[in-house]
């Protein structure tokens, strides 16, 4: 009997540090499968960021560097410019990318830096214990918006794909979700397209993945999936925002 399912080579045997029902595990697996399928494990460099995925250099079986909060696109730029044959990706959460690292992500996109960004948006700070994120929805309760996010007081959520889509720079921007198998398959296609684009020297790609955080949303894993569908996807519509040039997208 042949093997029908196994761990991607691009994942180590280290156990994930994520909570039950968290979608980071799915997203990690998709990234790892894409690295395997493209045969780029030996020249991929993961740039880890700050947040729940801070130690994901323990999970991806590639070379890796850990970057300061928000600075992953700058660190990735340094790696890519000095080692252009490397396939460089950042893996960043919403606090890292859309708060602390707003300047770095905008300018990496504006330069059309030939890197891939996997942006995980779960509308909350997970690692520090459920504080308000730049992507926290209006009315959403967090430990630092305990009365619900009021746009008059705490401002409005940031839609990253739409924001970056105002720039001439980026080559590929897509928002996906991983709340059901159909969407997982679409998400993988998007991630693969993003990496393929980089392999071909196509420029900056970002895949925003809507993701559940049952622990800090105080919901069961199933209810959290429902919340992704009803609330997150309503404010953050899925779709391709930018696609420059032709890319083979078979999955």
Partner 1 sequence: MSKVLMKGNEAIGEAAIAAGCRYFFGYPITPQSELPEYLARRFPEVGGVYLQAESEVAAINMVYGAAATGARVLTSSSSPGISLKQEGISYAAGSELPCLIVNIMRGGPGLGGIQPAQSDYFQATKGGGHGDYKVIVLAPASVQELADMVGTGFDLADKYRNPAMILGDGFLGQMMEPVDFEGIKKSEIAEKTWAVGCKKGRERNVHTSLYLDPEELEKHNIKLAQKYELIAENETMAQEYLTEDAEIVVVAYGLVARICKAAVEKARAEGIRAGVFRPITLWPFPQKVLRKATAAARGVLAVEMSMGQMVEDVRLYLEGRLPVRFYGRAGGMAPTTQAVYEEIKKISLECRGVE
Residues found near partner 1 in the complex (CB under 8 A): 42-43, 45, 47-48, 54-55, 57, 61-68, 71, 74-83, 85-86, 103-104, 106-107
Instruction: Tell me how far CA of residue 225 lies from CA of 30, 178, 211, in angstroms.
Output: 18, 9, 9
Question: Which residue lies nearer to partner 1 by CB, 67 or 137?
Answer: 67
Counting Cβ atoms within 10 Å, is residue 244 exposed (0-12), middle (13-18) or buried (19+)?
middle
Question: Which residue lies nearer to partner 1 by CB, 103 or 222?
Answer: 103
Contact 23, 122 (CB under 8 A): yes
Question: Which residue lies nearer to partner 1 by CB, 62 or 136?
Answer: 62
Question: Which residue lies nearer to partner 1 by CB, 57 or 119?
Answer: 57
* In the complex, minimum distance from the CB of residue 89 to partner 1, in angstroms, rounded to a whole number: 12
Task: Give residue for tokens 């198998």.
Answer: 181
Tokens for 31, please give them. Answer: 């990234």
* In the complex, minimum distance from the CB of residue 76 to partner 1, in angstroms, rounded to a whole number: 6
184 vs 205: CA distance, rounded Å? 18
Tokens for 220, please give them. Answer: 């069961």
* In the complex, minimum distance from the CB of residue 167 to partner 1, in angstroms, rounded to a whole number: 13
* In the complex, minimum distance from the CB of residue 130 to partner 1, in angstroms, rounded to a whole number: 19
């Amino acid at each position: 009997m042949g093997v029908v399912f196994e761990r991607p080579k691009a994942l180590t045997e280290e156990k994930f540090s994520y909570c039950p029902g968290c979608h980071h595990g799915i997203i990690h697996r998709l990234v790892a499968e894409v690295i395997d399928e493209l045969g780029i494990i030996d020249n991929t460099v993961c740039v880890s960021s700050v947040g729940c995925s801070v130690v994901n250099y323990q999970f991806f079986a590639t070379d890796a560097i850990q970057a300061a909060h928000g600075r992953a696109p700058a660190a990735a730029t340094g790696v890519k410019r000095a080692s252009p044959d490397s396939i460089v990706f950042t893996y960043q959460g919403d606090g890292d990318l859309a708060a602390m690292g707003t300047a770095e992500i905008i300018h990496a996109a504006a330069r059309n830096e030939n890197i891939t960004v996997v942006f995980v948006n779960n509308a909350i700070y997970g690692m520090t214990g459920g504080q308000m994120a730049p992507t926290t929805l209006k009315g959403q309760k967090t430990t630092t918006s305990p009365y619900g996010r009021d746009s008059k007081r705490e401002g409005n959520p940031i839609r990253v794909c739409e924001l970056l889509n105002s720039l001439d720079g980026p080559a590929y921007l897509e928002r996906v979700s991983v709340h059901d198998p159909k969407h997982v398959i679409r998400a993988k296609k998007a991630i693969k397209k993003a990496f393929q684009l980089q392999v071909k020297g196509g420029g900056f790609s970002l895949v925003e993945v809507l993701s559940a955080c049952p622990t800090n949303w105080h919901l069961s894993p199933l209810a959290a999936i429902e919340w992704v569908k009803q609330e997150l996807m309503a404010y953050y519509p899925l779709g391709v925002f930018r696609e420059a040039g032709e890319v083979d997208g078979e999955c």
